[in-house]
Amino acid sequence: MSWNRKLPRRGFLAGSLGSALIAAPFTISRAAPTGVSGNPFTLGIASGAPREDGVVLWTRLAPRPLEGGGMPEAPVAVDWQVAEDEAFARIVARGTEQAVPALAHSVHAEVRGLRPGRPYWYRFRAGAAQSPVGRTRTAPASAGAVPRFRFAFASCQQYEQGYFAAYRDMAARELDLVIHLGDYIYEKSWGSRLVRRHEVGIPTTLPEFRDRYALYKLDDDLQAAHAAAPWLSIWDDHEVADDYADDRSYTTRDPARFLKMRAAAYQAYYEHMPLPASARPRGPSATIYERYRFGDLLDVMLLDDRQYRSAPACVNGARPGTVPDCPERTLEERTMLGRAQEAWLDTEIRSSKARWTVVAQQTLMAELDRPAEGAHRYWMDGWDGYPNARRRLLDSIATHRPRNPVVIGGDRHAFFVADLARDPARPTAPPVATEFVGTSITSEGPGAKGLRDALAANPHVKYARGDRRGYATVDLTPARCTVGFEAIDDEKRKDGTVSRLATFIVEDGAVGARQS
Ligand SMILES: [Fe+2]
């Protein structure tokens, strides 16, 4: 199945809304804010956290984006407008937010009072400068029958290893939603055949993290994907540091020092994403796990499996990696989500009434045994390092039986399809959920041989492919869930093109995917 690609990205970004449309101007006029010169909207615009009556609108004023933003140490008024049409003839909501230095002059406008399940267009103004126009979409009414819902999910966008052609492709589709599953930035430089550079070292302070986000968000393809649809986003490890777990990090051994860095990293993440105020960090903590409803068709549970997890097992503080099993790994109290989030998720799964329940989390949930690498070795940074936490999550699904549970993930830089068994030791028992993992936007993937061995040794894993970059699309109807693995031909080229690598279908009422 191919989706319409009706919306040229230039229509959103260049401020030119198509030759036939001339947007009505902002009717309020405001003097240029003191000390701001040049275009303050260099980092684009975004929307997110769609509810049936509203969305969060985001921008950040940054006329000199790679030098701390270039804004004065003072609040600046930012006006926003929401219209029912692309030409802004029917403006239905407007307001003013103060962009303050403490939040890097970012704006998170929580718009309410909109109608459910329809597109809206939005834009900002600061002084005389007007932002590009973005399109967003409210969630369908919670009680309403939804015939179709289309979303994409993506993760892992190491800036140096490729261009964001995947996002250009995503922006050209008519999507209801984009879900980002983490590694939106990378803190470190690595990889081969780099096409562009971070130019600076590993960020550890708030100004350094802000500049890293600014670098990524200067990419016009990423800006286009944000401007085309509302996003939900969760972080993984590289928004802070490789393979961290709660306050443990093999790169910053002192937990107090690490938490100080985590606070800066979480703060910068919030400042650069279309997140609601409920996700705003308080020191080193921030609540990003949340449930979103899309009519009677879809419930999305966003998880945070980094902030609360137990320290990696069997490595004694070293980098997790794939290591021999040890008794610590199977301790019952080991957690991936933390006690509070685990209880919250159980409640949400119990109360989910939607046709499809999507658990959106960071990494591969299916067990991946690696006999070719020696008996009983596990990747300790993923769910295999937390088998009882995984069992409790799958027990919750098996007990409460939401109609069609689907787990989505990223992190592995490879496409995976798997059946999730309640107990990996009894792989012949019927699976309780279907899993899809999307590949990376740019980050280098695993070797082919390792994946071939994994497929051979893990019959519940139906598909694994790590040689292509891209993302995944999901087309939901009451009858079926169609997942497309969308792959770039060459991520080292700015004009790389995307085509469908594989299509999988889950039928309503059945666990497990078949390739079509
Ligand atoms: Fe990654």
**Cα–ligand 1 centroid distance for 362 (angstroms):** 9
Q: What is the 3-state secondary structure (H, E, C) of 160-229?
A: HHCCCHHHHHHHCCCCCEEEECCCCCCCCCCCCCCCCCCCCCCCCCHHHHHHHHHHHHCCHHHHHHHHHC
- For the chain, 516 residues long, give each residue's pLDDT as a single digit of tens: 333 344 333 333 333 333 345 567 776 556 666 567 889 999 999 999 999 999 999 999 999 999 999 999 999 999 999 999 999 999 999 999 999 999 999 999 999 999 999 999 999 999 999 999 999 999 999 888 999 999 999 999 999 999 999 999 999 999 999 999 999 999 999 999 999 999 999 999 999 999 999 999 999 999 999 999 999 999 999 999 999 999 999 999 999 999 999 999 999 999 999 999 999 999 999 999 999 999 999 999 999 999 999 999 999 999 999 889 999 999 999 999 999 999 999 999 999 999 999 999 999 999 998 777 767 889 999 999 999 999 999 999 999 999 999 999 999 999 999 999 988 777 778 999 999 999 999 999 999 998 999 899 899 999 999 999 999 999 999 999 999 999 999 999 999 999 999 999 999 999 999 999
Distance 84 CA to ligand 1 centre (A): 37
Question: What's the CA-to-centroid distance between 119 and ligand 1, angstroms?
Answer: 32
What pLDDT score was predicted for residue 11?
Answer: 36
pTM for this model (two decimals): 0.95
Give 442 Cα–ligand 1 centroid separation in angstroms. Answer: 9
Say how many Å lie between the CA of residue 350 and the centre of ligand 1.
31
Among candidate residues 162, 154, 155, 217, the one with its CA nearest the CA of residue 191? 162
Amino acid at site 247: D
Report CA torsion sign: 107, 110, 113, 114.
positive
Question: Separation of 160 CA from ligand 1 center, angstroms?
Answer: 13
Give 154's contacts (C-beta < 8 A, 6+ positions apart).
Answer: 166, 167, 170, 178, 179, 180, 181, 410, 438, 441, 471, 472
Angle at alpha carbon of residue 350, lines to 348 and 352, rounded to 5°: 65
The two three-digit tokens of residue 63, written as one number: 């006329």
Instruction: Note the pLDDT of residue 13.
Output: 39
237 alpha carbon to ligand 1 midpoint, in Å? 8
Q: Where are the alpha helices (DSSP H) in 254-386?
A: 255-272, 338-351
Q: How far is the CA of 82 from the centre of ligand 1 (A)?
A: 35
The CA-based dihedral angle spanning residues 182, 188, 191, 196, taken in that order and rounded to the nearest 10 degrees: 90
Q: Separation of 411 CA from ligand 1 center, angstroms?
A: 5
Distance 440 CA to ligand 1 centre (A): 7
Burial (CB count within 10 angstroms: exposed 0-12, middle 13-18, buried 19+), residue 316: exposed
Strands 433-437 vs 415-420: parallel, antiparallel or unpaired: antiparallel
Between the CA of 321 and the centroid of ligand 1 the distance, in Å, is 14
Q: 242 CA to middle of ligand 1, Å?
A: 9
Cα of 238 vs centre of ligand 1, distance in Å, is 7
Residue 504 and residue 417: Cα distance in Å, rounded?
9
**261 CA distance to ligand 1 middle (Å):** 19
Choose among 173, 195, 197, 171: nearest CA to 186: 197
Distance from the CA of 181 to the center of ligand 1, in angstroms?
A: 10
CA of 265 to the centre of ligand 1 (A): 16
For residue 317, the CA-to-ligand 1 centroid distance in Å is 21
CA of 164 to the centre of ligand 1 (A): 15
Query: What 8-state DSSP symbol labels residue 277?
Result: G
| 345-349: long-range pairs with CB below 8 Å, 24+ | 345/289, 345/301, 345/303, 345/393, 345/396, 346/396, 346/400, 348/291, 348/299, 348/301, 349/301, 349/396, 349/397, 349/400, 349/402, 349/405
In angstroms, what is the span from residue 382 Cα to ligand 1's centroid?
12
